[in-house]
Structure formats: structure tokens, C-alpha cells
Amino acid sequence: MTTDVRGGAVLGTFLHAPRPERLDVLVDTLICVDEAGVISRVLPAFSHEGERVLNELGERVIRLPDGHYGLPGLVDLHVHAPQYPQLGLALDEPLEVWLQKYTFPLEAQYRDLDFARERYSVLVADLLAGGTTTALYFATQDRAATEVLADLCIAAGQRALIGKVAMDDPAACPPDYRDESAEAAVRDTRAVIDYIRGHADNGEGRVLPVVTPRFVPSCTDAALEGLGQLARDCDCHVQTHCSESDWAHNYAFERFGISDAAVLDRFGLLGRRSVVAHAPFLSEADMDLLVERGSAVAHCALSNIYFANSVFPLRQALEKQLHVGLGTDISGGPSASMWEACRTTVQVSRMLEEGVDPALPAAERGRGTGRVDLVTAFHLATAGGGVALDLPIGVFAEGYRFDALAIDTRAVDGGIRLFGQTEPAAVFEKIVYGANRSNVAAVWVDGICRVDRGRREGAGSGGNHA
């Protein structure tokens, strides 16, 4: 079934959510993809024009088999690539202890480039196989290891935005895992930007560099200042953490007398292509500031249960037209699945609305507002991620990249059981609540097939990374 679709088309039923709260169903639809991997037409297959195009393209049309649905690829807006070996571990401490005790020592090991290559290649393959076509990655402090991650994403064909993590404050970062100075943090960040942009195999720019101050507590003023300037000079994406926990939120007030978001803005780190992770403690004014700057929040619902000890007020953010996408926050969140991120987003939004303490009367238990539905969560995991990154992805429409999944609802090892259900909205819910990697039959990025379950099973591989 699956092959590259550049210069061809895919025929089938597609489900996507260009806007919150609304699922669009494209039954018997032909999506034409140009030679660059961009969607050139979306049209009903059994119309006069559809028939004409079908005839014209002939064998260059891929037909999704029965029980398969086309969905946009998933956009993970917050991943710590080096933390993948720690996924599902070490969630017993608060953020500031977890960083020092577990996470910095693990990330420091990536200075060994063989160690890095082995682990990063497993991560990139696993994320693609699970349907994550785009990832916004924090790498590590080490320049060369960050370039290894870029090499692997370029080779695997994943759309990736990658940042060398800047962390230079000796008061907060261990001596064996930090930038030696603010100048070194900026210089190495610039070197990675140049490396990724000049990479011989990255001519289509599928991998992009990101200015990445870890978070305010890890960086000196000079580093924050220099990175803000660099982001402007290089016209780069920016990513960081913001007001993630009570501790991190209060830290900014103690050091600067203003909020985390206001600090980032002071250093020129909030722009149209900035993504701040977590951010449950944003004030109304902080949210308004992000909206004004066109910046986005990576909502990491699962991780926030462990480190934020609160729920990001997503509904409120969306009502303000704040850009939001979803992130797994590997390994602060113990799942690499963006399907799981969608589910948890819905679940914690219900908890925010209804409250959780049974000792309180129902009327006093929660905010009384806050829930989002599954379509909205999926919208954020696809189209919303695209808006956050200012990239044309996550929607099946002319001009968007063909980053797409073929979901096999009948996969024997999958998590979906339809029992004959064919109503598209119900099929959609079954997919997002049930899908696992076995249901992801094919993955295209820029119209190039990067995962083909049929081919994988045929080869009998799977690897052993025990």
C-alpha cells in the first residue's frame, strides 16, 4: 500500500480538525501531493474532476485499504530527547530535585557520541512509528551531541526542530554539565544553528534549529540576553520552560521581581516562533503578553501531574486565542505517545472543571469550567502544533505539507475495536482513545513514506533495545 506520494495522490477517508471542537470528515477524498510534498488539491474522488485526476495519475494513486483512515501526523511540541532512557522512571521527586538527582547526570552522558547515537536513533524511530511526524526537541548542553540528533532526524526524515540546551549558571548547573560561560552558550548555539542550516542533506529544511535556554533558573542574565539577540539575528524558533512549578514560578519573582514570562520578554525571547513549555501558573497578564507576542504554550498534561502539581487552564488560554500545542515532555511525562497526550489533555481538563477532592462538596470542588473535548485535544496535537511553530502542517488543505498517518483500525495487535462502527465521529473517538503503535500502518512526512508497517513486518525486524 504505502509508498511515497510526491507527484501522486492518496484516496480514502480522512479525518482532521483544522479548528477546535470541530472534526472535519473527508469521505472518499483524493489528496494530491506535488513533487515537493505539498498538498496541491483536496477533492471528492467521485466527482467529475476527481475521476479525471484519478485517470490522469493512474498508478500514482495510493488507495487506503478498508478499515484505514488518513489522519494528520502528530506534532509533539515538547520532547527532551536525551531523557528517553529515563521514560517511566524517576518520577518521585519535585522538579528542582529531579533535575539535579537524575536528569542532569543522564543528559551529561550524551557527551559520549556513541552513547548519544544509540539512544537518539531509538527515540526518533519510536516517535515516527507512533505517528509523531514533527517534534520540537530539547537536546543536551553538548554541541556535538545535538548535531548527532540533527543528523539522525535528517536521515530518518522526521520533521524536527532541535535546540542545543543553553545552561550556564554555575549556581544552578553542575560543574560537569553546563556551558562554561554565557559567551560559550551563545557561541555553541550559533554553531548548531549554522550546522543544521548548512547540512548537506537538509536542503528541504525539514530540520530547523531552535534557540533553547533551558529555563530562567539555569541561565545567567548574560546568556538570556545573548540568546535573545541571537534569536533575532538568526530569525530562529525559541523554546524554553515557563512557570512550570510553584518553585520555578516563584524563582523568577525572587530574582527579577517579575514573572517568568515577563523575564523572557525582557530578554527578547518571546516572539511569533517561541514555544514555552508547561506554563500552568501564567497570570492573565502573562497570557495576554504571550498572545500579543504570538508565542505559544506547549501543554504537557501528563508531566504537569508530576511536576506542576496543577492543571494548565487550557480552556481559558484558548478563549484568549493563545497558541497552544501538546507535548509529551519525555521524560517528565512517562509516555512518548501523542495519542496519550490527547487523552490526558481531556482527562485533566475535566479534573480542573470538576475538582478532585471528595472531601469537598461537588459545587466547591473545581473551577466549574475548563473542560475540552477530544476533538479539541486532537486539533492541538496537529493543527495547533502547526500554528504554534508557524509551519503549514496538521491540516489536509492546499498549501499544507503532506505529513500524514494511515491508521489501521483493524490491526490485530492494535488498541482499537470498532465492532462494525462506521460513523466517522465515533471512529475518530475510537482511534484517538485506542490507537497504539500497531495501528499506525504508515507515516508520511513531506509526502515521503517513513514508516510502513507492512514492510516492517515483512522484514521481520523490530530491534532489541533491552
335 near ligand GUN, rule: CB under 6 A: no
- Annotate each residue in 233-272 with x if it binds Fe ion (CB under 5 A) or - if it does not, as one string: ----------------------------------------
Q: Rounded distance, CA 333 to CA 306, Å?
A: 8
99 near ligand GUN, rule: CB under 6 A: yes
Least distance CB 80 / ligand GUN (angstroms): 5
Residue from 215, 396, 400, 444 touching ligand GUN (CB under 6 A): that is 215
> How does strand 440-445 pair with strand 404-408?
antiparallel
- Annotate each residue in 100-139 with x if it binds ligand GUN (CB under 6 A) or - if it does not, as one string: ---x------------------------------------
- Residues that contact Fe ion, how many (by CB under 5 A): 2
327 near ligand GUN, rule: CB under 6 A: no
Residue from 141, 303, 328, 409 touching ligand GUN (CB under 6 A): that is 303
Taking only Cα atoms into account, the Rg of the chain, rounded to an integer number of angstroms, comes to: 22
Whose Cβ is closer to ligand GUN: residue 40's or residue 310's? 310
329 near Fe ion, rule: CB under 5 A: yes
Least distance CB 267 / ligand GUN (angstroms): 16
* 188 grid coordinates: 555553541
Cβ–Cβ under 8 Å, residues 60 and 30: no
Least distance CB 361 / ligand GUN (angstroms): 34
Whose Cβ is closer to ligand GUN: residue 70's or residue 385's? 385
Largest separation between any pair of C-alpha atoms in the chain: 69
Residue 384 identity (one-letter amino acid): G
Q: Rounded distance, CA 61 to CA 11, Å?
A: 7
Least distance CB 221 / ligand GUN (angstroms): 18
Whose Cβ is closer to Fe ion: residue 31's or residue 106's? 106
Q: Considering only 65-73, 95-103, 381-389, 434-442, which stretch makes contact with ligand GUN by CB under 6 A? A: 95-103
Q: Angle 143-156/182-197 helices, nearest 10 degrees?
A: 20
Q: Angle 143-156/113-130 helices, nearest 10 degrees?
A: 40
* 198 exposure class (CB count in 10 Å sphere: 0-12, 13-18, 19+): exposed
Least distance CB 380 / Fe ion (angstroms): 17
Q: Rounded distance, CA 407 to CA 69, Å?
A: 5
- SS3 annotation, 183-239: HHHHHHHHHHHHHHHCCCCCCCCCEEEEEEECCHHHCCHHHHHHHHHHHHHHCCEEE
Interface residues with ligand GUN (CB under 6 A)?
80, 95, 99, 103, 214-215, 241, 244, 303, 307, 329, 332
